[in-house]
Amino acid sequence: MTKLARACLSLRAHFSTHLRPLAKAQVAPVPVVTCKRQQFNLYQHDHSLPADPERVKFGELPLASDGWRHRRSNGDYFIIHPVQRSYETYALSERSFAELGIREPLVENLKGQHVLSPTHYQVEGIQAVLDGSHMLLAAETGCGKTYTYLVPVVEQILRRRLHEQRREFNTPLVLIITPGRELAQQIGRVAERLTEGLGIRTRVVLGGRTKQQMLNPSFEDIDILVASFGAISKLVTSGIYRMEDVRYVVLDEADTLLDDSFSSKLLHLMRRFPFHKNHLQDLGADIHGTQLILAAATMPSNMDELLSKLVNVETIEQVVSPNLHRLMGHVTQRFMRVRKSDRPQILLDLVRKDAKRNVPTIVFSNKTPACDFVSLHLNGHGFSCVNLNGDMILKLRLGQFEKFQQAEVNILSTTDVASRGLNTVRAAHVINFDFPLYTVDYIHRVGRIGRIGSRNDCLATNLISSQAEIGAVQRLEHAARTTNVLRNVDANVKDPEEAAKREKAAKTEGIFFPGSDLDEVAKHFIGNTHRYRENIIIPKLYGVVQIKTNEEKLVEAAFESCAFKSLMSCVLGYGLGAAIGLFSSSVNPSIADPLAGEKQQTAREIFREMRQATHSYGKNFAVIGAVFAAVECVIESKRGVSDWKNGTYAGAVTGGLIGLRAGVKAGVIGAAGFAAFSTVIDYYMRHR
């Protein structure tokens, strides 16, 4: 009966129409920063933060990376989690391209590139460019800045029918300048697809073949010219490309083009364009003004000062994204404190996991030697990897990035040459094998993932080793915890005094990158007993290069020593002297002179005299060769230079020592004679 009563009450409660209070739902906190040491975890709406976290100064907030300067911190980590989805970051506008005044054929070409609707930022940027003012487009990487300036520029050309006007060959209407070759190729492809069937012609000009293009130039009708800066500056100066009809100048990655490595030459090129007539060019066909458009993912603090050298800053309108100079809110970013010696193995572990899931990965290094090592290290362990850096010759560099883009390989090892502007939409994982010391470089590197069209599970992994890297990480962690903008994004624009000091130090010390980087690579290539590969395979152009063992290096050092050179010169000198002695004794007329009145010598006596003469000449030449080689080697080691003076000094010393046996005067004459003879021989050997 009791069980029956309980069942009835339960059924009544289940089917009752009376309202009952709901149990309070347990909502899991949304993580912002999670750490190995959980006391540093941060969640959204965390009450431990001040009411206005953006006002918290650096150093006032406890960070997980604060203890990373201690030697026992290896193995610690923290993760910055996404706080929004990619579709929320790059929200599409309700307005269409047609509503912005873009004609139908251009819209159809955009649809062919899977660009169906503009983002809010693109709407604002396209309208501003169409208005005709000088323009600065500043927005985070991957938000579609290329279409933001290309679409309105092409629309303006079609409206004014500028491409139908008669112009000289190699006289473009639009000049797009980039700091790198790969970016120029990418923009050129986008422009060609965008203008397909519209009668607008595009050409891409790259560096590396500039002399060939100057000696054997091609001439044709051009409307849009996309070029890397180094190539176009030389070709314009030489008169191969003419700039008098250019109506639009675009500086893509303007922050890089305006830094000290380009600024002086860029200003010289920009003086050719009538930017001051931009607002007058629609008043008449004979007025040619030029609209300046700058696109950048970062804005240095002295941007106005840099732009004032090109145009009147007050005439420049700015379209700035609200996400500029902020951490990418839709990309997971992991920071790992590791030892330098552990980085190669950790890299292998990360790549091995990516290979199992077929994840395209980009590995960034700060310097070319480290970039080369990463490529060789991964290829040596069976992971196909292509290498891309600025020190590669053009023949090797061309096509490397395309192999990664076209999925021929899934790993790209590169320096910051691939961090600016490239549309790496298929990449899903960025590994900073060397952590960038400048915030601007970190922004650009992480910007290779989480772009429009990228997958939603993108990840950036950072390996932190040095004290300088820890300082840079702490500022990033502070920005993540306070949702503040990133500071110090103008490090790519160098202080002239500091740059001059570094250049002077480099010339004095003979180095061009920190010794720690060289030591790191040398440890793997030279000083480490564990060799990752028996042979370094460099493309077929160069063949196979063998890694030298310690025994090979010892033998090579012995061959280069002064003692070995002196010994070899002694042996060769004896051989040469013996040959001369043998020849002179064999033709000596006193040996077989019938008029001498003496008894003719026997064959044995003749051979004995020949042997004595041969030995005498050989001994003298051996002494001269040994002394000369030893003196020249010592002089060359002390001077550190290999030139004609070494032979002259060595000849003077050798001749003086030999002549001193007959007196001071003979020594002086011998020194002068040997010095002159050595100089003549050295000149002949160097200039034959």
Instruction: Please give the CATH superfamily to which domain 27-87+327-491 belongs.
Output: P-loop containing nucleotide triphosphate hydrolases (3.40.50.300)
Q: Are 177 and 246 in contact (CB under 8 A)?
A: no
Provide the 3-class DSSP secondary structure of residue 204.
strand
Per-position b or e across 20-40, b if 16+ CB within 10 A of its CB: eeeeeeeeeeeebbbbeeeeb
Q: Which residue has the higher pLDDT, 164 or 317?
A: 317
CA 382, CA 351: separation in Å to the nearest integer?
Answer: 11
Calpha distance 156→131 (Å, rounded): 10
Residue 547 has what pLDDT? 44
Note the pLDDT tens digit of each residue in 448-507. 998 888 888 899 999 999 989 999 999 999 989 888 888 777 644 444 444 444 444 444
Give residue 454's region: left, alpha or beta (phi > 0; psi -120 to 50): beta
Q: Where in the chain is the domain with CATH 3.40.50.300?
A: 27-87+327-491, 92-320
- pLDDT at residue 8, rounded to an integer: 54
H helical segments located in 271-307 = 303-307
The closest of 433, 500, 492, 490 to 464, measured between CA atoms, is 433
Grade residue 647 by pLDDT with cuts at 50, 70 and 90: confident
pLDDT for the residue numbered 541? 34
Please tell me the distance from the alpha carbon of residue 678 to that of residue 672, in angstroms, as a whole number: 10
**Nearest-angstrom CA–CA distance, 366 and 432:** 9
When the pLDDT of each residue in the chain is averaged and rounded to a whole number, the result is: 80
Position 127 pLDDT exceeds 90: yes
Does 275 score more than 50 pLDDT?
A: yes
Q: What is the pLDDT of residues 543-593, one digit of tens each?
A: 333 444 566 657 767 777 788 888 888 888 888 888 887 777 776 645 444
Largest pairwise CA distance in the chain: 162
Helix (H) or strand (E) holding 294: strand 291-296
Q: Which CATH number fits domain 92-320: 3.40.640.10, 3.40.50.300, 3.30.70.1400, 3.40.710.10?
A: 3.40.50.300
